[in-house]
Amino acid sequence: MGKKRHRILTCAAAALLLTACSGGLTARYGQTVLDRVAPETPAPDGLVYCTGHGCAERHDLALTPSDWQKIAAHFDPLPRTPAEERRRLAAAAATFETIAGQYTNSSEDLAGTFAGFGRSGQLDCVDEAVNMTQLARLLTAEGLLHHHTPDLPVQRGNLLDGWPHYAASLKERSSGRSFILDGWYRDNGEQALVLPLEIWRAGIDEPLLACLHAAEAEDPGGLRSDALADGPLCDRS
């Protein structure tokens, strides 16, 4: 095969991956990957951690009691409100990624897809959706989530109106409102975005991300992304 043809095929393959956030092309792709790799019964010492775009790299992840205690500590005492539980979940997701990075060569995972595309240990949105869904299911199984129930991964966009993007989702028990848990916009170990589904589906732009970063820096552990994006501090009107 000539060098020119090889470059064309390589670029075409990369483009195909990237159009689906390095994952797939159908609305159910994130769910399909989750069903294929995730254990039916989550346990701290029995997880599968996805990296490498579309879960191309699968790591058996066994959290030690010490690892799990660091994650569970975010829910001690148990949150009293749904908003507080979402704040704790965002922080727990950061701890989960930090710990997982030590075992899966993903500590240097960068936000988005392009910055680290092709590197071992880099995550795309499908990887993030599968990993975050497992975390939410595990927290529920361990009795730590009381105001939300884990749902299936959700998608926004398609090849006609924007690049497909996937995220883990949860449903608030009291209202039935859906929220997403998305670590794709942040580097490894940074707090995940927790946003109302309708805000996420509308698209996350740079001004919104900048607003969220600024508010979090001013009040670490206080107001969280879901409240900020849905209120006057990050007005999108």
Alpha-carbon span 121 to 47, nearest angstrom: 17
Backbone phi, then psi, for 81, in 5-degree steps?
-130, 160
Is residue 21 scored above 70 in pLDDT?
no
pLDDT at 233: 59
What is the crossing angle of helices 29-37 and 125-141, to 10°? Answer: 60
Residue 1 has pLDDT above 60, yes or no: no
Count of structural domains, the chain: 1
pLDDT tens, residue by residue, 80-139: 999 999 999 999 999 999 999 999 999 999 998 666 566 778 999 999 999 999 999 999
Residue type, 211: C
The whole-number pLDDT of residue 13 equals: 37
- Give residue 103's domain range: 3-234
Per-residue pLDDT of 197-225, as tens digits, reads: 999 998 888 888 888 877 777 766 555 55
**Torsion sign across C-alpha atoms 193, 127, 9, 120:** positive
Residue 17: pLDDT above 50?
A: no
